[in-house]
Structure 1
């Protein structure tokens, strides 16, 4: 099976020149990104079972996903830039093996403190997904980079989408420890496949670790395209997060009185965004990524504006509107993300890992702000205020992209 097209002579010590990845390698990268990022979300549907199993309160068990997300944010900031300093192949394999150990620690955790420490480690090492995406961008030719990145991002997005569904089913049938064991086995297979088939990547800088981190600010200062991408995608992520962080609370209240399972089912609408990611990448290759960012921001704004009509509809019609709106804005946000990644990876090829870190730090800041702002608005002024804020945020992102 062909793993790489247009092979080149090795550049020594396992290093090869950037080259177009074949379908098998692209699938490997997409699967690796999906399985690694899915590790962040396995615990969420199992929190009730986890609390009863290890004798933790509902408040304390909520620290598990919190520390996982905190570890991921810290890992993006502190570990992702290392992809420019060292061979990405070695980093991907090493982080995958460390993620396996962290997942095994979760599976075997006898108490809450051990589980919390293991959850933080899962978040830190799951950032291997943010090493895989720049690796795919480096291997791809410029004229097909959007398509390749879009395909790998499809795997990542499907990992986020399906992780909660799979973990809920496995925990119900075989227990929560079995889910972490299965997750560890899957990541171990990815590590072995990456060691066998992923080519080496020559380091692009010799900066010390301290200077490497300091260069993140320098990159942000020097590149207006990076600032626009981080700001626009951060605004879209804020709108995205405001919706999803308040949806379950809104559906639990009158007139719906629906449980968490119903709220989770709306997440299946995210499949539209995930499956459309390669199409967004191909469109970015043909028409330019800047146009796709405007298209994505505009679609997101329209979807949230339509959701503002919900208070004037019957409860049944509101549920249908929520589903359609979720498909629309998820497609818009993911299309903009693929296009922004295409832009960012083309700014300075030698700094792709650091550029990616800056972009995703902006995204995580936006998601945190959206969760806080959405909760406050829902408590004070209701669901219309949440969708109204999300509409304004998407319009601001569109304004940034039209500059």
Structure 2
């Protein structure tokens, strides 16, 4: 069965709304702290518990897409997400909320099941474009989730956000049950063999190693920026408030708009060229940040450049790994995305460390060095696999 444009758009829509579950909690921390009469820093634990649950689900559940029928797995995990969101929405103790957040994260890995399903049903000529469109849905979901959550929390309280999210996921469950195509599992072994096979692919697939390593460093740059930019804008000469700083996230929508174009380019003869373009855009963005001074318009230009550069790297790499071993796309995606999110975590820590040592100038110099290292890795692999 081939995917129609309507199917691809539905997948993008579902991907965006489900990935948003991970980010709803961030603007709600202050409201939750007041409700449970706890410190805001302690209430903030739900943010990394949700992310930790996501990492756990990514590693343990996504590979099962190669072992079980993908549509059924998507529906079951979405059902678990509904239950987790309802537990959070009616939680009357912070302990219960923390447990619910871990479950919300673990059950929000559905986008990483939808992407291999879409890749499996796309032709070689259109696979990159399809992934790009679905990635746009994912990015828009991330960008919109914080604004939506903050507004609903302000109007009706933090529990309402989780309850509404559960209702949205129920609607998605019905849509996916009716519209999503089925697929045939390609792995006949047991779960232990499934997990150990991922190590074999790391050893035998140089493209997977290259894509994961480049994505690790690229994600670390992006995460370092979005963590450290808050400190940069909150301090002189800008002294911006949290609400004002949040508006700069709108500039990140450029990446969502660029993803389908990047995906289309990734269907060409040499998609690795897109990686170099992405790395150059990241380096140009850091250069723009370094010379921002008092000129916020330069800062906005830098945000657009770094986000488009990230999409050029991520969508291209994801397209490349999906072309490697069709029957193992979920396992390949598990390795790729797990490494990417470890890179994001490391990037946040590195960004804050550089800020403490030398504020914004040292942050820019340090991240530029990481990008140059990524370019050297790209050059190293170019000699081994030019295509």
Tell me the TM-score normalized by structure 1.
0.92
State the distance in 2 between where 1:249 and 1:91 align.
41
Question: Which runs of 5 or more residues in structure 2 are unaligned?
Answer: 383-387
2:188 alignment partner, SS class: coil
Separation in 2, partners of 1:387, 1:99: 39
Distance 2:154 2:345 in 1: 30
Deviation at 1:160, TM superposition (A): 0.5
User: Any residues of structure 2 matched to 1:3-402 within 5 Å, and which?
Assistant: 19-310=1-292, 313=293, 315=294, 317=295, 319-402=296-379
Shift of 1:78: 1.1
| Deviation (angstroms), 1:53 | 1.2
Displacement, 1:59? 2.0
Q: Is the 8 A contact 1:81 1:212 kept in 2?
A: yes
Distance 1:275 1:147 in 2: 12
SS state at 2:109 partner = helix
Q: CA deviation at 1:287?
A: 4.7
Distance 1:167 1:21 in 2: 32
- More off after superposition, 285-294 vs 347-356: 285-294
Paired residue total:
380
Q: How far apart, CA to CA, are the structure 2 residues paired with 1:32 and 1:289?
A: 27
Question: Aligned with 1:382: secondary structure?
Answer: helix
**Residue 191 of structure 1: how far off its partner (Å):** 1.1
What SS does structure 1 have at the residue aligned with 2:211?
Answer: helix
Long gaps (5+) in structure 1: 1-18
- CA distance in 1: counterparts of 2:345 and 2:38, whole angstroms: 25
Cα root mean square deviation, aligned? 1.1
TM-score (norm 2): 0.96
Looking at structure 1, the residues matched to 369 and 288 of structure 2 have their Cα atoms a distance apart, in angstroms, of 13
Separation (CA, whole Å) in 2 of partners of 1:241 and 1:335: 16
Q: Do the aligned residues in 1 keep the contact of 2:288 with 2:301 (CA within 8 Å)?
A: no
Q: Distance in 1 between matches of 2:183 and 2:371?
A: 37
Rounded Cα–Cα distance in structure 1 between residues aligned with 2:119 and 2:372: 29
Distance in 2 (CA, whole Å) between partners of 1:169 and 1:88 is: 35
Q: Which moved more, 1:251-260 or 1:233-242?
A: 251-260
